[in-house]
Amino acid sequence: MTGVSYAMAATKSGGPEVLERIELAVPPPGPGEVQIAHRAIGVNFIDCYFRSGLYPWPDPRRLIPGAEASGVISAVGAGVTGLKSGDRVAYTLPNNAYASARNIAAAHVVKLPDGISFEAAASVMLKGLTARYLLKDSYELQPGQKVLFHAAAGGVGLLAGQWMKALGVAPVGTAGGPEKCTLALSHGFAEMIDYGQDDFLEAARRLVPEGYHVVYDSIGKDTLLTSLKCLRLHGTLVNFGQSSGAVTDFRVSDLAAGSFHLTRPVLFHFTSDRKWLERAADELFGLILDGRIRVQIHSAPLSSAATVHADLEGRRTTGSTVLIP
């Protein structure tokens, strides 16, 4: 039976104000799909990249942002095995999550263990699995290695800080302002640089004069070239975002300053491997259940998506924000 969902959608790219409430028909799930009644929806920078038009829309007529959510299966399409109505589940996949219900291919969905709340799951499917590939796949961190991680008090940052501590790493983080620095220090970071106050290159070099094995940079335009200067010889720069804007002035020859390595990974190239998704989600849920990762969650109604976008882009958030339909 076709049901009705409500969603936050845009018909043109632009600022947060382009997001409007719409009603949406949700048909029965097709073959290989499940229908999920959402309970919590994670907000991520990628939602802003799509909304603003930085990333092209899959359908130029309309965008429903949202790339991670949790909920309860309300219907199952033909050929789906291992999932049934009533199961508590979560997923990460670009777009269409800012809705009270949706259909999605079962291959993207994982079951939630008892003890993982809908809010926690919707906070970590995208951000926590990102932390996982950053620390174990894009670069395989070893205990004691020197790490610099930008935007340490953000959604990915607070999860990554705790995961690095669990791996025996004492990371240095950067954040804008003393409150964010204090928060990051209580989420696994051993040292913090307030790049609102300090020149982060000078501070990073003072803390680790020999240079870092790896720098994780999701800020892009404002930091990338300086991040390279923080590396030791043969160090690795992992650029995984552009919160300050796209990098336009990088040249391949910049890597010659230290025989550096550079990678620009994307989560969905890891989660498209079902085995990786299951293993990484098990690991992440395990770390939350045994208390080594705490999730910092702020909740807001789904209808307030525009305000939440403005806060995220305005650097006024810490940790994860979830929208509740």
Q: Would you count residue 185 as binding ligand NAP (CB under 6 A)?
A: no
- 231 forms beta bridges with 212
End-to-end CA distance of the chain: 21
> Is residue 296 helix, strand or coil?
coil
**Between 48 and 76, CB nearer to ligand NAP:** 48
CB 307, min distance to ligand NAP, A: 15
Q: Which residue is nearest to ligand NAP (CB)?
A: 154
Contact 223, 239 (CB under 8 A): no
DSSP state of 15: S
Provide the Cα torsion 101, 102, 106, 111; round to 10°: -20
- The verdict on 171 binding ligand NAP (CB under 6 A) reads no
Asked if 267 is part of the footprint of ligand NAP (rule: CB under 6 A), the reply reads: yes
3-state secondary structure of 195: coil
Please tell me the distance from the alpha carbon of residue 115 to that of residue 156, in angstroms, as a whole number: 21
Residue 266 touching ligand NAP (CB under 6 A): yes
The CB-based long-range contact list for 192-200 (8 Å cut-off, 24+ gap) reads: 192/152, 200/174, 200/226
Residues paired with residue 99 on neighbouring β-strands, in sequence order: 7
Considering only 94, 157, 211, 325, the residue that binds ligand NAP (CB under 6 A) is 157
Q: Whole-angstrom Cα distance, residue 23 to residue 21? A: 7
288 vs 175: CA distance, rounded Å: 24
In whole angstroms, how close is the CB of 267 to ligand NAP at the nearest point? 3
Judged by beta carbon, residue 9 or residue 131, the one nearer ligand NAP is 131
Q: Are 24 and 14 in contact (CB under 8 A)?
A: no
- By beta-carbon proximity to ligand NAP, the closer residue of 65 and 155 is 155
- Residue 50 makes contact with ligand NAP by CB under 6 A: no
CA neighbours closer than 13 Å in the CB half-sphere of residue 233: 0
Is 176 among the residues that bind ligand NAP (CB under 6 A)? yes
User: Least distance in Å: CB of 287 to ligand NAP?
Assistant: 17
Of the candidates 219, 287, 305, 308, which one interacts with ligand NAP according to CB under 6 A?
Answer: 219
Spell out, one character per residue from 222 to 251, where the chain touches ligand NAP: x when CB under 6 A holds, - when not.
x-----------------xxxxx-------
Q: Which is nearer to ligand NAP, 180 or 187 (CB)?
A: 180
- Out of 35, 100, 123, 130, name the contact with ligand NAP by CB under 6 A: 130
**Residues within the interface to ligand NAP (CB under 6 A):** 44-46, 126-127, 130, 151, 153-157, 175-176, 180, 218-219, 222, 240-244, 265-267, 312-313, 315, 317
